[in-house]
Chains A and B, each alone.
With several copies, the nearest count.
Chain A
Amino acid sequence: MTVKLVYFAWVRERIGKPEEEIDLPDDVKTVRDLLSHLKTQGDEYEAALQYPEVIRVALDQEHVEHNEKIGSAREIGIFPPMTGG
């Protein structure tokens, strides 16, 4: 399954691109699985996702916990804790 990943703030800067399409490996079921998988994709991913517990994820623009199943989500947002307002 192909999904669109979108990155923001220092996650975007460290990975070095704002978005990309990837094919999800069959064994990537949850958000946590996805973060672990991405971390193995190179130094830039390792730098961005070094502490996965602080990373926030949205499936189709809704916040989810790391144990959430990715299911049929088409767009996955990956970003640091928010600092707006």
Chain B
Amino acid sequence: MTIVPLIRVQAQDFDIRAEIDALTGGRHDIGAVVTFTGLCRDEQGTLSALELEHYPGMAEAEMRRIGRSAIERFALLGLTAIHRYGRIAPGENIVLVVATAPHRQAAFDGANFMMDFLKTAAPFWKKEHGTNGSAGDWVAAKDADDRAREKWR
């Protein structure tokens, strides 16, 4: 049976335990669950919020493409990826990835691969709002994020 990634793009927060349970409940073949949660940092008190814009439709489609690659490449038993949009305050969740596999390295690699490609290929953009009331600058893409993809060649 083909395993399909569970993909959601939503304004509201997510519940990590519910998402893990949805992948693991009632099965006895999963040995490893790795989760990644990305949170909004306040940048030493200078950031009051992030505003996340996305390309509706394509965001989900691209996350699904990356998720399918991760499942196939690492023989995952399940993969969930949830990305929020809208205004997000420091300390709040932005993104969740949950990967399940029989053994640990596949689960680690699956979640890590999903994040590296999500960062550089899923159509989301962050704008920073400053605590000084500044209108907000778009976050610049990081070379480090492009380089992070190279490890999967």
- Chain A interface (Cβ within 8 Å of chain B)? 6, 8-10, 58, 61-63, 77, 79-85
Contacts and interface: CB of A to CB of B under 8 A. Distances in A.
Interface of B: 38, 52-55, 57-58, 61-62, 83, 94-95, 104, 115, 118-127, 138-142, 145
21 contacts: A61-B55, A62-B58, A63-B121, A80-B141, A81-B140, A82-B119, A82-B121, A82-B124, A82-B125, A83-B119, A83-B126, A83-B141, A84-B54, A84-B118, A84-B123, A84-B125, A85-B38, A85-B104, A85-B115, A85-B118, A85-B122
B118 to A, nearest CB: 5
A10 B126 CA distance: 10
* Ranked 10 nearest A-B pairs via Cβ: A84-B124, A81-B141, A9-B125, A61-B58, A85-B119, A83-B139, A83-B126, A10-B138, A85-B118, A61-B61
B7 to A, nearest CB: 13
A82 B53 contact: no
A82 B120 contact: yes
Contacts of B53: 8-9
Contacts of B104: 85
A79 B118 CA distance: 16
Given A63-B62, A84-B95, A6 B55 contact: yes
B152 to A, nearest CB: 15
B119 A84 contact: yes
Nearest to A12: B53
